[in-house]
Structure formats: C-alpha cells, structure tokens
C-alpha cells in the first residue's frame, strides 16, 4: 500500500488554514485507500520524514517554507516524490513582484504597479488612489490594504510601523469589478469561480469564515471572458513552471472588459469547502478522487 505523509501545519501565519487543508486531505487519502501518516511540520521536518518513511509526500502547507520552495528542496534532498509545484515555481510564485514580471513577459495582463520601500509608501501616495498595498510574499489577504479614492494619506499602519511584512511592499492600481479564481490540474483549467464577498473586500475573514463569501461556479460571465480566464490561468501555470494543482486569482472589470491576474497560488486551499475541491467536483472529481489524482501525480524531479 502506498504510504502517504500529509505535511501540514508548520509555523507560518497560515498554520491554521494548513491544518484544515491537511486534515481534509488526510481523511480523503484514507478514503481513497492510502496508508496515511499526518505530520505537523516542525523545524525538525527532515527527521519527521525520515521516521515516517513515506512513498509520497502530500504537501498541505501554505505560506513561507511550505509554499516557497524550501520544503520542496528538502523533499528533493530526501528523494521523496511530492505533490504540487517544484522548487523554482514555488519560489517564483511566492514572490508577487517576480511573478508579475513573468506574467508580463508572457502577455498576461497585470495591474499597473510595482515594489516600493515601505518608508516611501508611508510618506505620501505613490499613485493616485484607489490603489492596493500588499505584502510581496504572503497569502490569505494578510496585510492587504486598499487605499480608497479620496483617502488623504497612506494607511496609518504603514506610517506607525505596525505593518510587519517586510521593508518592501507591492503596490497596484485598484482594479474594480469582480473577483474570479481559476484552478489548473496538470494541463487542464478546471473552471472559473466568481467569489462574491459579503464584506467590503475579499479579506481573511471573507475567505475562511462560513458565510463570508458566496462561490458561483461556473461564474456567470460572457463565454469570451470565461475562455480568457481559463486560458490565462493555464498560461500562468505553465509560465511559472507549476506542477500538479495551482490556482490563479483575477479581477474582472465588467465596465471595461479588462481581466487582470493578481497571483498564482501553488498550494491552494484544500479544506473540503475550498475553491479547488469545488472546481474539481465541477469537472467530475469528488474530494477523495482529487486527492488520489494529486498523490498519483507526485514526483521528485531530481
């Protein structure tokens, strides 16, 4: 029987989300007939893996270490086949500034903006509001600020130094309109989901609290927009060199018809009610079949 180590938890700010993804995937892998061992990742992860002796690692981590190439590198050193993207794609996708350069190089539309020193952002508006300030390498909407039209100064958190996401931040023009997300499974875009937030914007609570948002799949869009979103997500997945499942987030401005990519998640949320399991169901994979697909797709490139 194939022995699968589900690596979850860890010590990033997304620990709790990862624990839910991991518990869900471990249960599904058992249902799919695998021998499962759950690992709450510590700094001693290499030891934990050596003791567990898995045939495959199912990566359920989110955020730094688990999503940025570090754990992927460790798994390659230990010669354990693992799910999702490899070292380079993980590291690239974790850096939203570097990712933007790759999107642009491949003709995928991005918001106007770039990386700036936080102290410059705190001094005065770097561009005319509305604009967005976000960490270069975080997830789950942690540290995201929307500077509204008419705001007379940058967010006070930047000015008073309580923004703790590094010396640099990414600034982007605010793209009005709708929030779309598209999963990719191998070489197949899975479907377009519209996320209708029931709050002001798609923040942490709106993403993870029950009733925080409504998911519409397939999104009610003109066929051309759906096709464009599916194509852009596959292009992003391939341009970054992703493997397994990824999920790209977009804004669609229906007033202008503009479709703008925000980011590609190489370790998208996998709780049973997350977006990827919903999209998988839409193309005929129930949750255990999706997890089985991931495990069978695992590889160790070196």
Ligand X SMILES: Nc1ncnc2c1ncn2[C@@H]1O[C@H](COP(=O)(O)OP(=O)(O)O)[C@@H](O)[C@H]1O
Q: Residue 179's binding partner, choosing from ligand X, Mg ion, none, with beta-carbon cut-off 5 to 8 A by kind?
A: ligand X
Catalytic annotation, pick one of 9, 10, 12, 14: 14
The answer to whether the CB of 222 falls within 8 A of the CB of 178 is: no
Is the separation of the CB atoms in 273 and 209 below 8 Å?
Answer: no
**How far apart are the C-alpha atoms of 223 and 183, rounded to whole Å?**
17
Reference 62, options 18, 101, 99, 97; nearest CA is 18
The residue with tokens 């508006």 is: 125
Told to judge if 140 belongs to the known catalytic residues of this protein, a careful annotator would answer yes
Q: Is 265 one of the annotated active-site residues of the chain? A: yes
**Residue in the shown chain whose Cβ atom is closest to Mg ion:** 249
Q: Is 252 a catalytic residue?
A: no
Which C-beta is closer to ligand X: that of 78 or that of 217?
217
- Does residue 249 touch ligand X according to CB under 6 A? yes
The phi, psi pair for 183, rounded to 5°, reads -90, 155
The structure tokens listed for 236 are 């992003």
Q: Which two tokens stand for residue 51?
A: 């003791």
Task: Mark the segment that binds ligand X (CB under 6 A) among 60-68, 74-82, 170-178, 239-247.
Answer: 170-178
Q: Establish if 202 lies at the interface with ligand X (CB under 6 A).
A: yes
Minimum distance of ligand X from residue 111's CB (angstroms): 4
Q: Which is nearer to Mg ion, 172 or 249 (CB)?
A: 249
Residues of this chain, 107-136, that bind ligand X according to CB under 6 A: 111, 132, 134
Q: Which residue's CB is nearer to Mg ion, number 68 or number 249? A: 249
Verify whether residue 233 is a known catalytic residue. no
Question: Which residue among 179, 225, 247, 287 contacts ligand X (CB under 6 A)?
Answer: 179
Catalytic residue among 90, 269, 274, 287: 269
Q: What is the C-alpha to C-alpha distance for residues 254 and 261, in angstroms, rounded to an integer?
A: 14
CA distance 9 to 20: 9
Tokens 């570090």, located at residue: 70
- Structure token digits, residue 248: 């790209």
Q: How far apart are CA 163 and CA 157, in angstroms?
A: 5
Residue 232 CB, nearest approach to ligand X (Å) = 14
Q: State the SS3 of 221-249.
A: CCHHHHHHHHHHHHHHHHHHCCCCEEEEE
The answer to the question of residue 4 lying near ligand X (CB under 6 A) is no
Q: By the criterion CB under 5 A, which residues form the site for Mg ion?
A: 249
In whole angstroms, what is the distance from residue 164 CA to residue 171 CA?
16
Cβ-based nearer residue to Mg ion, 203 or 249? 249
Among 2, 141, 238, 289, binds ligand X (CB under 6 A): 141
Smallest gap from residue 179 Cβ to ligand X (A): 5
Residues 111 and 163: beta-carbon distance below 8 Å: no
Min CB(133)–ligand X separation in Å:
9
Cα–Cα distance, 240 to 37 (Å, whole number): 30
**Among residues 140, 233, 246, 274, which one is catalytic?**
140
Contacts of 126 (CB under 8 A, 6+ apart): 116, 120, 154, 171
Instruction: Indicate which single residue of 72, 90, 140, 266 sits in contact with ligand X (rule: CB under 6 A).
Output: 140
Active site residues: 14, 140, 208, 247, 249, 263, 265, 269
Binding site for ligand X (CB under 6 A): 111, 132, 134, 138-141, 144, 172, 174-175, 179, 201-202, 249, 251, 262-263
């Amino acid at each position: 029987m194939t022995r699968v180590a589900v690596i979850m938890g860890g010590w990033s700010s997304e620990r709790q989300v990862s624990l839910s993804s991991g518990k869900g995937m471990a249960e599904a892998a058992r249902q799919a007939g695998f021998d499962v061992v759950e690992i709450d990742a510590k700094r001693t992860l290499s030891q934990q893996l050596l003791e567990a002796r898995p045939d495959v690692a199912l990566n359920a981590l989110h955020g730094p270490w688990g999503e940025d190439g570090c754990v992927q590198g460790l798994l390659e050193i230990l010669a354990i086949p693992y799910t999702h993207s490899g070292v380079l794609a993980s590291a690239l996708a974790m850096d939203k500034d570097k990712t933007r350069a790759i999107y642009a190089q491949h003709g995928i539309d991005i918001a106007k903006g770039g990386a700036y020193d936080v102290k410059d952002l705190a001094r005065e508006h770097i561009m005319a509001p509305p604009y967005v300030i976000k960490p270069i390498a975080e997830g789950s909407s942690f540290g995201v600020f929307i500077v509204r039209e008419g705001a007379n100064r940058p967010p006070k958190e930047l000015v008073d130094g309580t923004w703790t996401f590094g010396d640099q931040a990414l600034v982007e023009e605010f793209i009005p309109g709708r929030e779309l997300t598209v999963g990719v499974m191998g070489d197949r875009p899975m479907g377009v989901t519209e996320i209708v937030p029931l709050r002001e914007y798609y923040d942490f609570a709106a993403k993870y609290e029950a009733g925080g948002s409504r998911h519409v799949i397939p999104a009610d869009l003109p066929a051309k927009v759906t096709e464009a979103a599916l194509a852009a997500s596959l292009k992003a997945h391939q341009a970054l060199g992703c493997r397994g499942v990824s999920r790209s987030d977009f804004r669609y401005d229906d007033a202008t018809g503009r479709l703008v990519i925000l980011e590609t998640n190489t370790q998208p949320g996998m709780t049973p009610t997350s977006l990827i399991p919903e999209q998988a169901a839409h193309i005929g994979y129930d949750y255990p079949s999706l997890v089985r697909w991931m495990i069978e797709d695992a590889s160790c490139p070196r």
